[in-house]
Structure 1
């Protein structure tokens, strides 16, 4: 059979290379030496091929290390890990002999195989005998057997009521469904070499590497001797076809499909099996939801710990290897083994960790610049004219910040807060805001390139949405209405447009209502702040009384955090209900819809108070004698005499630290406690010796199941952190540093959780991070706007700039140094006549403790005329100059940054040039393969006709 029919179904053939990322860094081209996998069926002389390889090596003077493993046998999940040296394997015969003779005896006791030690367990179902859904399970299991799945049952060693159903898919079933699911498998090996035109550049690189020889030798890279070479990494792949099975590289049918692929195929079958009569009585998910089965999961590949060292004896299995090289805290500084993560957990989880690692790496420059801005504020603190004037202003008396109980205070009492404000609000803040806006764009653009390389390496280039299955719930709901699929030409369930619109309208109404709930919660926090500041001002403890505003902000942030966490539980249930109400067609549509709702809910929930503090706190309070009040009762809260930025910094710092700490505890601490408690009960009931004798399915069942929403919580946590890192970064330059430190821990926490604390999740495919990328782009755009407003409105950068150029000692000279800020504090404060206070806001103290006599005047932050002017307390000309400068800055800043962002997006291509060349090369190779496959077919026909004495066309070879 020719390859042309198979290849015609795929426009391109993707390849995967463990060194692909390094290949794409240099200008390397590839060539492909034709090696037919089945030697007995071809006339290829391998000695000639090896001679050709040697000639190529001599010609170009460079040969990749991968050449040493080109002719190595196929590597399966277990054979790579048996004999200590993970990169060296014996020949096919010896390896198959080991698999055929030694492994079954071991398999009978390791809990990964059936009782015969030959059939590997691909999936586990768990139920209780006492459960009344017996008939449904029997029908379901009978239909499973009808599909060809083999089955065994075992009682639990700890609870006789629990039954484990072991499922194994034989070769025939795997081949059938692999073809239906378009599973891509390796069929041709490849060899890389450098083109001669890059020989000169390679010599230059070699000289540079010698010059850097005194540096550590790539300390962050994992040892290649530790990681196994994966079969797919050196092969072209194509959709599996039983009719053309001889074209694929198959050394052992039992291990041709890796464990993750086998489990995915079995899960696909279970999702399509009926358990009762009726179109909507199908699928494992429904049986799990109605309690017929308690759990369903694929098995881990054994223990993640070993008595022997991995360096001397090698890894016992891929789980052990992942623990030692990825989930261990000792390798926190090393790169992640993404190819192995992808093989064990699937492309979807692999892409998450690839994105998380890329995001963490990109945080290094942002954290460094943010730390530089903070240190710049520290070094210039003693030279800051504004903080000096605040600290020396012992004769300036400020008006009370609340009604009755708040006393008059000296401006110098705000000295500490003025210095802290300068640490975050200094001359480098604007530069950092522009840098972070550009950084966000560069991060997203280079992630596109990185994702393209990963998609190429992991064989995801041709994986499109049309290959995705329809959700069983959608099929059951709309099975009576069908229409022809324009792509496949097959009938499929159809949702009417009117039905879809009505469901979307109801869902949008629910989203709007929940956002209103968030706003109501923020309104409650505002009332709390207004009421509490007066209470703290009258507190008996001097420490709280003298710092009433800071105490109010701190407690309000903590209460706000508690409300955020409580509302998150409610939002999750509402988002789940609304998403199911919409009836999305596919799993990706369901995930996108649920993700968008949860992000909107949690983003508004997390940032609403921050937006209030940044843009509304102290902006609409009125002035002494004419305060604006909430419901004509509560006086709105004012900013601290040193400004509102300190409140915003406290809000961001406390929320960021508390939320990340809580998330890390819930992700790892809670499962650790639950698993420890389970092990403790087992030790008390069965003794310490019984633990080691538990089979793998029993151990995995006692682990925690993965979150029902998959990676949603992991992504959401990082996306919200990204928002905190970019949206208000002008007010808190240390946010990228905190995010970086958290992410370094987060990667290993998540890895440890996936490897040791959770059941093995089902391996699933994904081409990218989905809707999260669009959300990241939206956050990047929003961050430009918010940072422009933070600099212009929240900070004092614009008022100081206007004073320096227009009203200060250097007015008209074009200078804006510290000497030009002399008198700024006095110019930014207005004068109020104490006798003009309203009765309900008149302070209890008359201020006689400052000068021995009642105060006549006090000061407040604003640009207003004095009380004896023609228009008392009217806005001054300086106020309008500052307002115009703020508006002009916002417009100029936004347009400038957006132009820079679009320019960067235009200049950085989505696909690296080398990757584009590789893809073109593969298209050329496809044509060559098609021609050679057709030639092979015609030659066989010619031999057959010649043997049978039949005539054939003389022009054919």
Structure 2
């Protein structure tokens, strides 16, 4: 993937920019100029080449496809600006600086292979995202695409449909090696998480790490549940022990995951990175105003208007959807009652099958309702006009989780605590779980495989055509166009949501259906292979996401574990064994159940407090790095203060030499700031300008 850059330097294409075919020539020339301009002139100082035409005769291809790369020097300076952590000579992870580059492991010569391709692509994307308008009032040739000083150019082009897509290129050889070690050879071994992180970034690495961890954590539950299910099928009363096991299991695994996640993030150099100041979302709009934090002009939207939209429109809409979901659930119970009555009156094989039909239909309806609601939640959250991407994601996750939780689990809660029918609860849980897994496997495994087969046929035809022309490899132009036709990976939202619901099925009600953990283990094993296949061959390569944890999903799983404690305590209190101790007073039973539930919740929160999120050896290493940074800063200050006085101008410059120290250290190594600097900078990093 190397091309000559004229002057002998190698041009390695990293990112593809595809503009709309009808983009005006002056707009294309203006954008390319801004990408190539030096940084001091407000440009990105990147390399860009136009993709050649398609090879097939008569093929109508988009001419406005461009490859973007960067010089080695530019990538290294970008790594320093972003504060990327790399392995230091002493084995620790430190923020990269060009001045200290020779002290980092793996930096040899000009640093050819020092940065991974995923890191280089992330740097290029960041530089493109931070391209800002200067004095332009609109995109040249497109008067409807308004601009103002400080507006993100790429985001405006995306919102107006001028920039069709922007994606990083796959590396064919490295992808082939990753595919082989990841999913092509069936083996009882862990996933190559370091290789996944190296190729796709920390965000996806942490997702697959959590998927693997969750699957392994389910193994003890499955080993206990399988014999329990096989030898205790008809005895629904002896689930107390399994429910108690659930209480301990759902608490311990999440606390241990925090430590495992912190270990991964520390090894990958993202644990100590501070969240950068967030820029406005591409879809954020408002009246042009002034941001007191950045000093730039940008849209301003009153928080009061946003709150009106949230509380007077979004919240009532969510409540209406919950009511509709409740109405559908009652229709399901009516169908269930009709099928059971029919079977009791004339028990035959077909009426026995009919008993399961309402649950299957209800499971399918649940999946359809979740899908429709997801689109409605995205529309509403976009309409609320959140300024920051993090705020947008938090509100979207909250809307989706509330509805999915109610839609998937309301019927089970009703059966368990209103009808108190453990037989029907087991049957409904089994049907919902199995049906949802079958639908997910069809959508996530078989459908992507079918799409890949169609794409392979297209690729084979192109390869054969090239070979007739005497060429053995698919040229870069054809690789780019094939990848441009691939599906876009929309992030880990749906993947985490699926795991969240599976975690709910296991932690809430698996005591009455112990086979649930076994089914989820089997589902997760196939999920690993299907997700790996999709990432390697169905989706475009996503940009790296330097995440330090699984974000808001950690809170979602912890909230589910709290609900699991309450649910399992209630199920234990309803068991005949426990009721036998309170034969004359249901009130005492309820009071004892509530007291034990509160005690277990207190123990859970105490364990959360006692078990540190970060392992001790990692905390020691982080403290040592901070200590070394402070000592180096003290030596720097002493050296400056002991230097001989110069002229007034020189002395003034020397006295203010340490003034930009906080800013410089923030850009290079934000985690190594002295506490005073952190106190000054943190409010501006965390503030959301309204």
What is the TM-score with the length of structure 1 in the denominator?
Answer: 0.59
Superposition deviation, residue 265 in structure 1 = 2.0
Deviations 1:424-478 (A, max 9, x none): x243x2122122111111111112222222232222233223444332333xx24
Question: How many angstroms apart in 2 are the aligned matches of 1:726 and 1:678?
Answer: 40
Superposition deviation, residue 723 in structure 1 = 0.6
Match of residue 596 from structure 1? 398
Question: How many angstroms apart in 2 are the aligned matches of 1:696 and 1:649?
Answer: 55
Equivalent position SS for 1:161:
coil
- 1:192-207 alignment to 2 at 5 Å? none
- Decide whether the 8 Å contact of 1:149 with 1:170 is kept in 2: yes
Match of residue 14 from structure 1? none
Question: How many angstroms apart in 1 are the aligned matches of 2:2 and 2:76?
Answer: 24
Equivalent position SS for 1:926:
helix
- Decide whether the 8 Å contact of 1:448 with 1:910 is kept in 2: yes
Distance 1:735 1:542, change over 3 A: closer
Alignment partner of 2:618 out of 899, 908, 915:
915
Alignment partner of 2:249 out of 439, 450, 453:
439
Equivalent position SS for 2:172:
coil
Question: How many angstroms apart in 2 are the aligned matches of 1:322 and 1:171?
Answer: 25
1:324 aligns with 2:324: no
Worse overlay, 676-685 or 686-695: 686-695
Superposition deviation, residue 714 in structure 1 = 0.8
Match of residue 682 from structure 2? none
Superposition deviation, residue 335 in structure 1 = 1.9
Match of residue 71 from structure 1? none
- Decide whether the 8 Å contact of 1:510 with 1:578 is kept in 2: no
- Decide whether the 8 Å contact of 2:262 with 2:548 is kept in 1: no
Superposition deviation, residue 724 in structure 1 = 0.7
- Decide whether the 8 Å contact of 1:484 with 1:492 is kept in 2: no
Distance 1:537 1:585, change over 3 A: same
- Decide whether the 8 Å contact of 1:575 with 1:594 is kept in 2: yes
Deviations 1:135-188 (A, max 9, x none): 6445433432333222222223354423431111224543454444333445x4
Match of residue 87 from structure 1? none
Equivalent position SS for 2:414:
helix
Superposition deviation, residue 521 in structure 1 = 1.7
Alignment partner of 1:565 out of 348, 362, 367:
367
1:155 aligns with 2:53: yes
Distance 1:137 1:527, change over 3 A: farther
- 1:318-467 alignment to 2 at 5 Å? 319-331=175-187, 333-375=188-230, 378=231, 420-422=233-235, 425-427=236-238, 429-467=239-277
Question: How many angstroms apart in 1 are the aligned matches of 2:530 and 2:459?
Answer: 26
Distance 1:768 1:693, change over 3 A: same
Question: How many angstroms apart in 1 are the aligned matches of 2:102 and 2:638?
Answer: 17
Worse overlay, 889-898 or 680-689: 680-689
- Decide whether the 8 Å contact of 1:592 with 1:770 is kept in 2: no
Superposition deviation, residue 692 in structure 1 = 5.8
Match of residue 122 from structure 1? 14
Superposition deviation, residue 771 in structure 1 = 0.9
- Decide whether the 8 Å contact of 2:463 with 2:474 is kept in 1: no
Question: How many angstroms apart in 2 are the aligned matches of 1:567 and 1:767?
Answer: 33
Equivalent position SS for 1:498:
helix
Distance 1:543 1:245, change over 3 A: closer
- Decide whether the 8 Å contact of 1:798 with 1:882 is kept in 2: no
- 1:506-905 alignment to 2 at 5 Å? 506-534=313-341, 542-545=348-351, 547=352, 551-552=354-355, 554-617=356-419, 644-683=421-460, 687=464, 693-696=473-476, 698-699=478-479, 701-703=481-483, 705=486, 709-793=490-574, 796-798=576-578, 801=580, 881=584, 883-884=586-587, 886-888=589-591, 890-905=593-608
Q: Which one has a larger percent helix, Structure 1 or Structure 2? A: 2
Match of residue 238 from structure 1? 95
Aligned pair count? 617
Alignment partner of 1:170 out of 71, 86, 101:
71
- Decide whether the 8 Å contact of 1:730 with 1:791 is kept in 2: no
- Decide whether the 8 Å contact of 1:300 with 1:696 is kept in 2: no
Distance 1:151 1:574, change over 3 A: same
Question: How many angstroms apart in 2 are the aligned matches of 1:595 and 1:355?
Answer: 18
Deviations 1:704-737 (A, max 9, x none): 7565541101111111110111011221122222
Equivalent position SS for 2:598:
helix
Distance 1:268 1:759, change over 3 A: same
Distance 1:253 1:478, change over 3 A: farther
- Decide whether the 8 Å contact of 2:339 with 2:354 is kept in 1: no
Match of residue 265 from structure 1? 123
Question: How many angstroms apart in 2 are the aligned matches of 1:708 and 1:752?
Answer: 13
Aligned-CA RMSD value? 3.5
What is the TM-score with the length of structure 2 in the denominator?
Answer: 0.80
Question: How many angstroms apart in 1 are the aligned matches of 2:616 and 2:459?
Answer: 57
Alignment partner of 1:481 out of 285, 289, 301:
289
Deviations 1:812-835 (A, max 9, x none): xxxxxxxxxxxxxxxxxxxxxxxx
